[in-house]
Every structure is written in C-alpha cells, then in structure tokens.
C-alpha cells in the first residue's frame, strides 16, 4: 500500500477508535432570541477542557483517559460527574497544556474540576446537583466545585448577565431547563448563549499555503460531527501554520451562519479543543492535494 493509502487507512482507524470510545454526554443547542427560558437555570459557560468522571477514570469528551494524578481522582465519588477542568477566564490554552500530557504532574494543582451535571442521577437538574452537594458536605474535595446556577427571570436579565460575563473575559452562558431528567446528545433543554456562532470539527488533513505562507499550512481540512467537510484558512497564527492542530484533533471555529449547501460561512479557527495523545503531525505528512466533496476557499 502506498503512503497515501496508509495515511487514509490510519485516519479511518483513528476515527473509528475515537467514535467507539465516546462517552454519551449532553450537548448544547444554540439559544435563539425570543425563546421562552423564564425560570430556567443559567450559569457561566467555562472555557475549559470538558471532563467526564465515570466513577473510575477521568475521560475527555472524545473518550481519552486523562493522566490525572492519583490525589486528583482518589477523593471523587463513585458516581458519575460531568464538568470542566478549568484554571480561569482566558486560561484555556494553559489548561489544555496541563491536562493533555501523558503523565501526571504538579501542574494539576492549578486545575479546578467545575461540575455542571451529575449524569444518570434521578430528578431534575437541581436534584442531580444536590447529590454532589451532599457528597461534598461529608467528603470535601478542595479542587471540586459546583458551577453556580441562577434562575433566569427574562431575556433582559439574560442579556445583561451575558454582557457582564463577556466583558470580564468569559465565553458566554449556558441555559438549562431545570425540570427535565438527564439526557444525552443534542437537547433543546440545554442552550449555549454567545455573541458569535461557533462549532467544533475534527482535523482530517491540511492544504499547503501559497505566497507568504508557502512552505507552511494554508488551511485545515475539517469535518463536523454531522459529516460536513470544508477548509478553514483564516484564524491561524503564523506559529500555528508551522505547527498546525494535529490530525485527529478537535478544534473550535467561529462562523457567520451557513451557505445554501449547509457549509459554515467565513469559518475562522479559534482554538484546539482536544488533541490526540500522539505527537503533532507535520503538514507535509498528509496528501494535501486531496479535496473533500465540498470545499470553501
């Protein structure tokens, strides 16, 4: 088999392994102005690394086991938790650098496990979070906290709270229907509220740069979870064009709506959400001339 065939086979195998390892989690829909969310619970959307505790191991959203130190996990409950590994506003890259290493290290001392859900517990959201609250009363864990939840009175209060969080360097808000039982997958009972549209996609490959970017990466070949494939060329720094997000990593990008064919318009790279554990792949290791079914220049 030639090099191109081996590369494509590796990508398919990696995709299959990752998909098979995904924990079933709640995913957010987008809030639309005018939605009736009065009485819902709102909280800050933390810009951290999502982590799922299955009662034994701490996993990323993609199912990779995080190399958390023993002291970090030994006091966690036997029941499931879902939350963000977080340092603080604006600290996403540093958080990712700490938690993505293959071996436990002292950097985890800076991490807080901020919980927004107790998966598969009974009752509404308040009842599920109370289960963790009761546990922490008798088993205090310094690095675990429950993300504060506030009742949303109306849209005006929601927008005022959003402006306050964004002005302070936060990412946005999350709205949850407090009455619904635990769900997984995309849910209209869980909404993200942000000032711009964003999505996530997996990096499948690269296209070489031209002109001033000759010899580096010109754009990323990305696939979203629903199978849409396209190139993202803007938003990459000069350093990221030399060492781009690794093949298989999950990135976040912003966009301005969708084209008539369903492709995100003016997509722009924001950040890596999750890397695979192997070293970064140089841009020239993939057949950059291969094109997806749909490409946006």
Residue 115 burial class via C-beta count within 10 angstroms: exposed 0-12, middle 13-18, buried 19 and up: buried
Burial profile 141-150: b = 16 or more Cβ within 10 angstroms, e = fewer: bebbebbebe
Q: Tokens representing 266?
A: 């003016």
State the Cα angle at 183 between 159 and 186, rounded to 5°: 60
Closest to 284 measured CA to CA, from 205, 212, 201: 205
The pair phi, psi for residue 95, each rounded to 5°, is -60, -45
Tokens of 76: 């966690």
Active site residue 212: no
Q: Let me know: does 213 contact 241? Beta carbons within 8 Å.
A: yes
Task: Say how far apart CA 189 and CA 290 lie, in whole Å.
Answer: 40
Residue 235 in contact with residue 270, Cβ under 8 Å?
yes
| Residue 226, both tokens | 């629903």
Given the residues 45, 212, 254, 280, select the one marked as catalytic: 45
Give the 3-state DSSP-derived string for 227-293, with helices as H, strands as E and coil as C: CCEEEECECCCHHHHHCCCCCCCEEEEEECCECCCCCECCCEEEEEEECCCCCCCCHHHCCCCCCCC
Integer Rg of the chain from CA: 20
Could you list the active site residues?
Answer: 45
């Amino acid at each position: 088999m030639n090099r191109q065939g081996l590369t494509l086979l590796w990508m398919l195998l990696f995709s299959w392994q990752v998909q098979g390892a995904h924990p079933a989690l709640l995913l957010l829909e987008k809030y639309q102005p005018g939605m009736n969310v009065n009485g819902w619970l709102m909280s800050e959307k933390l810009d951290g690394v999502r982590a799922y505790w299955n009662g034994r191991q701490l996993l990323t959203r993609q199912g990779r086991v995080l190399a958390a130190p023993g002291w970090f996990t030994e006091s966690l409950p036997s029941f499931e938790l879902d939350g963000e590994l977080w340092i603080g506003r604006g600290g996403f890259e540093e958080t990712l650098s700490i938690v993505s290493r293959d071996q436990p290290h002292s950097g985890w001392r800076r991490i807080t496990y901020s919980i927004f859900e107790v998966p598969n517990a009974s009752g509404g959201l308040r009842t599920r979070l109370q289960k963790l609250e009761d546990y922490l009363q008798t088993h205090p864990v310094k690095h675990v906290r429950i993300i504060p939840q506030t009742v949303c009175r109306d849209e005006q209060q929601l927008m005022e709270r959003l402006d306050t969080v964004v002005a302070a360097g936060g990412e946005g808000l999350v709205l949850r229907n407090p009455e619904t039982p635990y769900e997984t997958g995309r849910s209209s009972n869980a909404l993200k509220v942000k000032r711009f549209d964003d999505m996530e996609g997996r990096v499948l490959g690269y296209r070489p740069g031209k002109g001033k970017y000759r010899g580096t990466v010109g754009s990323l070949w990305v696939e979203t979870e629903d199978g849409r494939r396209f190139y993202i060329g803007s938003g990459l720094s000069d350093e990221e064009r030399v060492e781009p997000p690794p093949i298989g990593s999950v990135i976040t990008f912003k966009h301005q709506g969708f084209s008539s064919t369903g492709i995100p318009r003016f997509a722009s790279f924001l950040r890596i959400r999750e890397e695979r554990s192997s070293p970064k792949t140089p841009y020239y290791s993939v057949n950059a001339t291969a094109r997806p079914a749909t490409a946006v220049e």
